[in-house]
């Protein structure tokens, strides 16, 4: 990263504080990151993953449910409007809170409104209503991701990104717990409308975190037209990556592809095997939360010791191989929803590997992003990471109808083989991320 990208950002020159927990008490940026991560963890599941249980209950055809995973398309296309969030303030709140925080709070308000809209839908009788508000929820949630990720990268030094990413992921997992287990429990007790309205109310802690977060210094952007606004972050990224640009970008594109395809059909598998919403919430969210924390802590310890490219190789191998646990669960059959511990073990293996790989990838993409283009470049990288797998996930229901769940999850595991080979290539040639990190 250029020196100018580092100038004026708090913590750039300071020494790294020891441990994972002490900075939470001594650095307001880390504490704010926990709350902002919680807000990030809310909308994505509620666009499709949690809602897929509602769709199954509403007897929406499985092929249609698979296609509705494309409602998360905004998360894959967010790079299209991210450059404008880097350059322009939010209406009304931008002047009061600053560019990053103004957009954060604005997007959070839009998320809450979209969740309320989904709550008053009925997919069994008016699927179009659910589709429209879920699509709006996806765009609001993707915008929130753009500006929170931009704030995280701008507010902390490259060598602190593993720490910030870890707390972002912990907050994200807590948000997932609320949007997953919380929503499923509430749906069993009070119905889906109450569940989604409660999720809208739970955006409030994220708004508080945004108000408390320090606004990072932002460089004054030079005047630019539409084309230059969009192209400048891409040009900068490609120039800094140099000859390894295409291998690195292909690695980012493929790294989470197996996970995106697999996740689209995980809850339909659990429902097909006879597990209740409460069972799913308990295992995937309550138990899964602690499993995910274990994967997060392990990644935060491994990355500084073996380097980011070595961690990428481990991450892609374990994350892809973990889908075999879901294949085993499908072959086992779940005993009509009675094989609770087989269910727990299978989901635990998959969740631990997913959490480890997520921290590795977040840290890697954060280090690739320059501060002055933080929102744009990170959004571009996350879109690149998500789009291929998301597009494939849309056909997952058709694949399962032809092959069954077990062979489907074996197939998602095998997708990771060429990605692992690419990770070996990048690790051997040492990307600029390793060089920059060593020089920091």
Question: Which of 125-129, 224-228, 397-401 has the largest mean confidence?
Answer: 125-129
Quote the pLDDT of residue 5: 34
pLDDT bracket for residue 16 (50, 70, 90): very low
With a cut of 50, say whether residue 131 has pLDDT above it: yes
Domains in the chain, ordered, with CATH? Answer: 23-218+228-439 (1.20.1250.20)
User: Tokens at residue 118, please?
Assistant: 């989904």
Q: How far apart are CA 333 and CA 319, in angstroms?
A: 23
Quote the pLDDT of residue 347: 92
In this predicted model, what pLDDT tens digit does every residue of 42-87 receive, in sequence order? 998 899 888 888 998 888 888 888 788 888 888 878 888 998 898 8
pLDDT bracket for residue 426 (50, 70, 90): confident
Question: Cα-flanking dihedrals φ and ψ of residue 419, to 5°?
Answer: -65, -40
SS3 107: helix
Q: How far apart are CA 372 and CA 107, in angstroms?
A: 21
Which region, left, alpha or beta, applies to residue 339 given φ > 0 means left and ψ of -120 to 50 means alpha?
beta
Q: How far apart are CA 411 and CA 111, in angstroms?
A: 35
Whether the Cβ atoms of residue 169 and residue 111 lie closer than 8 Å to each other:
no
Q: What is the pTM of this model?
A: 0.73
Using a 10 angstrom Cβ sphere, with 0-12 exposed, 13-18 middle and 19 or more buried, the burial of residue 424 is middle
Q: How far apart are CA 226 and CA 254, in angstroms?
A: 29
In this predicted model, what pLDDT tens digit does every residue of 212-249 receive, in sequence order? 898 887 666 655 666 777 788 888 899 888 888 999 99
End-to-end CA distance of the chain: 10
Quote the pLDDT of residue 226: 64
DSSP 371: G
How far is CA 68 from its chain centroid? 18
Q: How far apart are CA 13 and CA 8, in angstroms?
A: 10
171 or 1: which leads in pLDDT: 171
Q: How far apart are CA 380 and CA 253, in angstroms?
A: 11
Whether the Cβ atoms of residue 377 and residue 245 lie closer than 8 Å to each other:
no
Q: How far apart are CA 73 and CA 196, in angstroms?
A: 21
Q: How far apart are CA 332 and CA 341, in angstroms?
A: 12
Q: State the chain's mean pLDDT as an integer.
A: 84
Lowest mean pLDDT among 74-83, 102-111, 117-126, 152-161: 152-161
Strands (E), 144-283: none
Count of beta carbons in the 10 Å neighbourhood of residue 147: 28
Whether the Cβ atoms of residue 252 and residue 384 lie closer than 8 Å to each other:
yes
Quote the pLDDT of residue 14: 39
Whether the Cβ atoms of residue 273 and residue 329 lie closer than 8 Å to each other:
yes
In this predicted model, what pLDDT tens digit does every residue of 295-346 receive, in sequence order? 988 988 888 888 888 898 899 999 999 999 999 999 988 777 678 889 999 9
């Amino acid at each position: 990263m250029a020196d100018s990208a580092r100038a004026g950002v708090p913590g750039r020159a300071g020494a790294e504080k020891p441990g994972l927990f002490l900075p939470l008490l001594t650095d307001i940026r880390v504490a704010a990151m926990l709350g902002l991560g919680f807000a990030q963890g809310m909308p994505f599941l509620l666009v499709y993953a949690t809602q897929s249980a509602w769709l199954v209950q509403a007897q929406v055809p499985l092929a249609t449910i698979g296609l509705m995973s494309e409602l998360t398309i905004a998360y894959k296309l967010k790079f299209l409007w991210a450059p404008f969030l880097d350059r322009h303030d939010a209406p009304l709140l931008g002047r009061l809170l600053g560019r990053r925080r103004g957009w954060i709070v604005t997007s959070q308000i839009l998320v809450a409104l979209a969740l309320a809209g989904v709550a008053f839908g009925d997919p069994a009788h008016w699927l179009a209503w659910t589709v429209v508000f879920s699509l709006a929820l996806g765009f609001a949630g993707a915008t929130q991701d753009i500006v929170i990720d931009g704030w995280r990268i701008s507010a902390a030094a490259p060598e602190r990104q593993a720490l910030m990413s870890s707390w972002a992921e912990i907050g994200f997992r807590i948000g997932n717990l609320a949007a997953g287990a919380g929503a499923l429990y509430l749906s069993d007790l009070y119905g889906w409308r109450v569940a989604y309205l409660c999720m809208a109310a739970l955006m409030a802690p994220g708004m508080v975190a945004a108000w408390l977060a320090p606004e990072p210094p932002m460089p004054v952007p030079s005047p630019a037209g539409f084309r230059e606004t969009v192209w400048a972050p891409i040009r900068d990224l490609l120039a800094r990556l140099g000859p390894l640009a295409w291998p690195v970008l292909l690695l980012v594109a493929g790294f989470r592809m197996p996970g995106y395809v697999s996740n689209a059909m995980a809850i339909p598998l659990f429902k097909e095997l006879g597990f209740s919403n409460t069972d799913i919430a308990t295992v995937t969210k309550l138990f899964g939360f602690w499993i995910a924390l274990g994967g997060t802590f392990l990644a935060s310890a491994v990355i500084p010791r073996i380097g980011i490219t070595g961690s990428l190789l481990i991450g892609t191998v374990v994350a892809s191989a973990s889908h075999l646990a879901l294949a085993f669960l499908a072959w086992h059959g779940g005993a009509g929803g009675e094989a609770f511990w087989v269910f727990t073990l299978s989901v635990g293996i998959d969740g631990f590997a997913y959490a480890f790989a997520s921290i590795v990838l977040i840290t890697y993409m954060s280090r690739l992003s320059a501060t002055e283009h933080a929102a744009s470049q990170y959004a571009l990288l996350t879109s690149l990471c998500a789009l291929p797998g998301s597009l494939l996930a849309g056909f997952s229901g058709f694949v399962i109808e032809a092959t069954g769940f077990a062979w489907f999850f074996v197939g998602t595991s095998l997708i990771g083989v060429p990605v692992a080979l690419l990770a070996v290539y990048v690790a051997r040639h040492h990307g600029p991320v390793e060089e920059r990190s060593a020089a920091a």
